[in-house]
Structure 1
Amino acid sequence: MTLTETQLTTMLELQDGMNSKVNPDWVAANNNWHRAIQVEGVEAIEHHGWKWWKKQDCDMAQLRMELVDIWHFILSAAIQEKHGNVALAKMEMLSELNLHQKSVQFDNQYYMLAQMKLLEKLDLLVGLAAARRTNLALFESLLLDCGTNWTDLFKQYIGKNVLNVFRQDHGYKTGTYIKIWGGREDNEHLVEVLETVDLNADDVRDALYQSLKARYIVVAG
C-alpha cells in the first residue's frame, strides 16, 4: 500500500497544527528534529534488541510505536526545511516516494535495502539522522519489516495527533482534563472512534475530534 497525497497532506497539516500549539513560531525556532529522530531510532533499537551477550526478545509492538513517533519528527523536519510551507513539503516528500529507491547512499556507500536486516536499517536511520538527513524509502522499508504499512501508520498517526490536540484543548496542561472516561482511558475510546470514521475523508480530523468530544461531554459534563 502506498501513501496517498490526501493522507500526506492531512498528516502534514496536523503536524503543523500540533507544533503551533506548542510554539506558534515553531518554524523560526529551528528545532533539531533530526536529533529527535536519532533518539527515537536508538529507542527502537532497544525494543528490537541488540545485545549479543544475552537473550533478548524483539518487542515489535513497541517498535511500531517508535516508528509513529519518528514519523512525527520526519514531518516536522520536512515542513521546517520548506520554511513552513506545507504544500512544498508535500511535493518534496511525494517526489521522493515516487522514486521508489532500492538503495540508500550514505558515507560514500550504497546500502541495498532488500539485503539489509531490520536492525541494520535502524542503524542506518540513526546514522542518517545524526547527519541531519532522512530517507523515505528507508522508512517505508522499516514499516514493511515491522509488519505494517502506510495505511496503518496513517491511522495510528491521525489518532494520536487528534487525541493530543483534544487533550490540550480540554485542560491537559492545567490538570483539569479527565483522562478516564466511563472507567476507561481516552486511548481506548480513541481505538473505537477510529473504527467509525472514514480515515480518507477530507474532514477526518474534525470527525475524529467531534466524536471524541461527544464521548467526553458525557463524562465531564
Structure 2
Amino acid sequence: MLYKDLKETVKTLGFLTIEDFAKYIGVTSNDVLEWEAKDEIPYTVSLIVHLLKGDKVVPNNVLDSLVEECLPLATLLEEASSFPSKLEEMFLLQKELNDSTNGNNWELGANKFGKEINWLRCIHMEVAELIDSTPWKHWKNINADPDMSNIHVELVDIWHFLMSYILQETNVPRAVSLVNTHCIYEANENIDVKLMVKEAEKLSYIALAIETGNMPSFSGIERFIDQFFRCCKISGLSFNWLQKLYIGKNCLNKFRQDHGYKEGTYIKEWNGKEDNVVMVSILENIESISFSELYDELQKAYSLNQ
C-alpha cells in the first residue's frame, strides 16, 4: 500500500488524521515521516488496515509479504527457546572454572591463595584490549581495519568476568533469569567501529561507577547486562556465536591452567599463532563440538608446539 492511499483510507476508518491512526496502532511520528518519504507502508500496517476495514479476504500479496518479513523474527524466537539452557550451561561452567582456579569461596572476594579478586577491574582491562583491536590511535595505523575476530574474543573474555561478577552477587537460576531476555537480538552486519568503541567504553564507565560507589552493585548488574549485549549486537556478535566462543574460551582457560598458566610455564604462542586464534579456527571448522572434544583438539595442537 502506498502512503497516499493510506491517507485516504484512514479517513474512511474514522480517523481525522494519519497521526491519529499512527497513535492508535502504536507507532511514532518518525515512522509516519519515513512512510511518507518512501511512499510505502509496512506490510504489518497494511494488514491492520484490512482488518479494520473488515475485509474477509486479505490480499495474498500482503499476507505473503508479511510472512516473509516475519520469518527472520520467527527464526530468532525459535533459537531463543534454547537460550535459557545455554545460559545455564555457561554459568555452571563459569562457576566450575572459578571453583577450580580460585577455590570454593571465591565469591567472598579472594582466591585460595588469599589474592584479592576484582571482577570490575578485569572487565575494565578487557575493554581496553577490545579497543586496542581497533584503529583508534590518531598517530598510528589510522587506516587499519579492526580485528573483528579478536574483538569478539575480547567480548567473550568480558563475558567470563561479567558472569563471575553476577555469580558473586547471586546464584545460577537467578543469573539465568536476569540475562535471558537480553539475549534476543539480531547482530549487526554493518559494523560502525566508532560507535562500537564508544559503547564498549560504557562498560568501563559502569565498572568504575560501581567500584567508586557511585552506582549500587545490583542496579549496576542490570546496566552491565544490557550494555554488554548492546556491544555484542553492534559488533556483529550473535548470541549463538558468543555461546560457542565462550565454550571454546572456557575450555582454553582450563587447558591453560592444566598446562602451567598460573605457574608461568604455559606457552601462549603455538607455531606463531596465539592460542586464542588456534581455538577460534578449530571452532570455525567444526559445526558442533563438545567441551571434551575441543580439549582434545587443543591438546593435539599444543603438542605440535613442543
Is the shorter-chain TM-score for this pair beyond 0.5, marking a shared fold? yes
Question: Which residue of 43, 51, 60 corresponds with 2:129?
Answer: 43
* Structure index of larger Rg: 2
1:74 aligns with 2:74: no
Which residue is 1:113 aligned to? Answer: none
Which residue is 2:106 aligned to? Answer: 26
Give how far 1:180 is off.
8.6
Q: Is the 8 A contact 1:197 1:207 kept in 2?
A: no
Please give the alpha-carbon distance, in whole angstroms, between the structure 2 residues aligned to 1:41 and 1:175: 24
Which residue is 2:7 aligned to? Answer: none
- The residue type paired with residue 76 of structure 1 is S
Question: Equivalent residue of 1:44, what SS?
Answer: helix
Please give the alpha-carbon distance, in whole angstroms, between the structure 2 residues aligned to 1:53 and 1:176: 36
Question: Which residue of 21, 34, 59 corresponds with 2:146?
Answer: 59
1:146 aligns with 2:235: yes
Q: Is the 8 A contact 2:252 2:279 kept in 1?
A: no
CA deviation map 1:187-211 (0-9, x unaligned): 6377336744635xxxx33443355
Q: In 2 relative to 1, CA 178–216 (structure 1 residues): closer, same or farther, beyond 3 Å? A: farther
Identity rate of aligned residues, in percent? Answer: 34
Structure 2 segments unaligned to the other structure (5+ residues): 1-75, 111-116, 186-193, 211-219
Q: In 2 relative to 1, CA 117–20 (structure 1 residues): closer, same or farther, beyond 3 Å? A: same
Which moved further from structure 2: 1-10 or 174-183? 174-183
Q: Is the 8 A contact 1:14 1:161 kept in 2?
A: yes
Aligned length: 198
Q: Is the 8 A contact 1:179 1:186 kept in 2?
A: yes
Structure 1 segments unaligned to the other structure (5+ residues): 101-115
Decide which structure has greater strand share: 1
- The normalised TM-score by structure 2 is 0.52
Give how far 1:8 is off.
1.1
Greater RCO, 1 or 2 (C-alpha within 8 Å, sep 6+) = 1
Question: Equivalent residue of 2:133, what SS?
Answer: helix
Q: Is the 8 A contact 2:249 2:279 kept in 1?
A: no
Q: Is the 8 A contact 1:193 1:212 kept in 2?
A: no
Q: How does 1:82-161 map to 2 (within 5 A)?
A: 82=170, 85-95=171-181, 97=183, 117-132=195-210, 133=220, 134-161=223-250
Question: Equivalent residue of 1:117, what SS?
Answer: helix
